[in-house]
Amino acid sequence: MAVLLPGAPDLAAYWRNLVAGFDAVGDVPEGRWDAVYYRPATADGPAAADQVYCRRGGFVDALADVDVTRFGIMPSSVPGAEPDQLIALQVAASAVADAGGEDRLPARERVGVVLGRGGYLTPGLVRLDQRVRTAAQLVRTLGELLPHLGADQLARVREAFTERLGPDRPENAIGLVPNLAASRLANRLDLRGPAYTVDAACASSLVAVDQAVGELASGRCDLMLAGGVHHCHDITLWSVFSQLRALSPSQRIRPFHRDADGILIGEGTGVVVLKRLADAVRDGDRIYAVVRGTAVGSDGRTAGLVSPDPGGQIRAVRRAWEAAGLDPAEPGSIGLLEAHGTATPAGDAAELRTLAEVFGPPDDSEGGRTAVIGSVKSMIGHAMPAAGVAGLVKAALAVHHAVLLPTLHCDDPHPALAGTRFRPLAGAAPWDSGPGGTPRRAAVNAFGFGGVNAHVVLEQAPDVTAFTAAPKPRAAARPAAADEGRRGSGRAAAATTVIERERVLLLTAGSPEDLAVALDTEDSTLLASGLDTPASRGAGPARLGIVDPTPKRLALARRVTAKGRAWHGRGDVWFSPHPLLGGERPGRIAFVFP
């Protein structure tokens, strides 16, 4: 997985922010749109089209730093491209790296991409519209109002106006095609399966996940990248939500609060790497969570096109749990619900009705409201088409680390919340297993503007060690130290480091070949001799570490060692064929550990 979200340039920062309950919402950065458009709310009536009454949201301006040359893109083409395409490319590449890198991808013909992306006015399209349409309208209107202006003067006005839009090159138009958010990614990463975008408003990225799951289940693809991208804070988008009175007049986004009064617009990009579970287990992948079920549906005919309908939401949620083969109303069925949670009064009320209907009321025999409800929108704003993947990544991280996460600004909950099985948390808390050892299970809602609803059910991956805090250093548990006298001896040394509930098998030898010889023995013999060794017994330049060693990980270690190339942590195996210090690297090296 990988993200670029307000306050979070990467996945690690996002996790830190989620655990800490960091509020990344702030004022509109300078240059996003002119301050002349802002006028504080004074009445409950519709706002003027050229005025907005809110100026706070979630932004990534200081974090969106893309090295385009890394992907073979010429810097001269950047000004004419949509920023979201370049950001999506970088985030997708980071997700592939988090999944072990391009070397671990299956055949490129069987790798696809589906991204949720809205059809909003984005910076490049705005510039093109101004160059083509607005410039002509401006000159025509001036000519009508000021008839004494000659053709030369009007031409100079048009030239001055278009100059401010930046250089005009024919190739700029290529970067404005919406589907290139996915196609550029497939092109630069050489992925030859299906590559396309979907627009289902706020449900877009979960619809993309549903599509990707279908590609995998059908056998057409072996790996899919799915997610959402939204980097549009154009004043026209703000104007739409301002006229609908959907923006928060108090300029605070408070999902499921008694006095919630509207959304704050956010932005961001998130991409997840999906494989069939059996393939991921076979390949020794690190699995954050298992997608047990997905579903998508629409409200159908309702009283209003933009009014949320619990009936449509209920159908989508129930279908996802049916696909998962699970009963959502069963006690202990769910530990965390990442809600759509927009903080609009109508939206929150409809979603709470959906939750009460699908998951049932509080269960007195289970201690009442045992499950947790959350909405990451309280921390980053509403990222529109990328909102679903922001919630999906949050839920997957929570499942993976066994931590229930807080939601901000819900100190006085909506009264309807008391009629559900869910409660908000003010701070992060450990996530214990359910009744009878039920695996950790989460679900994610994304209910799109216009009545399209998506739901995903996530479950704890098999054989995942519970999250524990980082251990303190222990004197008797050190990695093997450098020992010049043993290099090239043909013998391997072993040590065991015990870290909370995990064991680490450390092997060292004079060369990768010697290490391969040491590994060429029965698993039980190797594990017994290595794991019973209480401390270091010497070292060599070739190093191998296996976290919580199993026969499967030993098999991976043998393949890695036989190739002789460095292997850094994938499948919980670390291998270094060369010494870290000395040899070809003279001088002094300092390591700083935060």
**Residues assigned a catalytic role:** 202, 340, 382
Residue type at position 319: R
- Structure letter (DSSP) for residue 193: S
Count other Cβ atoms within 10 Å, centred on residue 468: 13
Q: Which of 566, 550, 552, 478 is closest to 515 using CA atoms?
A: 566
**DSSP helix/strand/coil, 523:** helix
As beta bridge partners, residue 122 has: none
Q: Alpha helices, DSSP H only, in 99-221?
A: 123-129, 135-145, 151-163, 180-189, 204-218
Q: How far apart are CA 16 and CA 219, in angstroms?
A: 36
Q: How far apart are CA 106 and CA 219, in angstroms?
A: 13
Tokens of 560: 């890695």
Q: How far apart are CA 180 and CA 171, in angstroms?
A: 13
Count other Cβ atoms within 10 Å, centred on residue 359: 22
**DSSP helix/strand/coil, 269:** strand
Tokens of 464: 């995942």
Exposure on the CB side of residue 182, measured as CA atoms within 13 A: 25
Q: How far apart are CA 268 and CA 8, in angstroms?
A: 9
Tokens of 428: 């992060």
Residue type at position 53: Y
Tokens of 258: 């008694």
> CA angle, 574 as apex, 571 and 580 as ends, to 5°?
160
| Contact call for residues 285 and 105 (beta carbons, < 8 A) | no
Q: How far apart are CA 538 and CA 508, in angstroms?
A: 8
Residue type at position 46: P
Residue 130 burial (10 A CB sphere; 0-12, 13-18, 19+)? middle
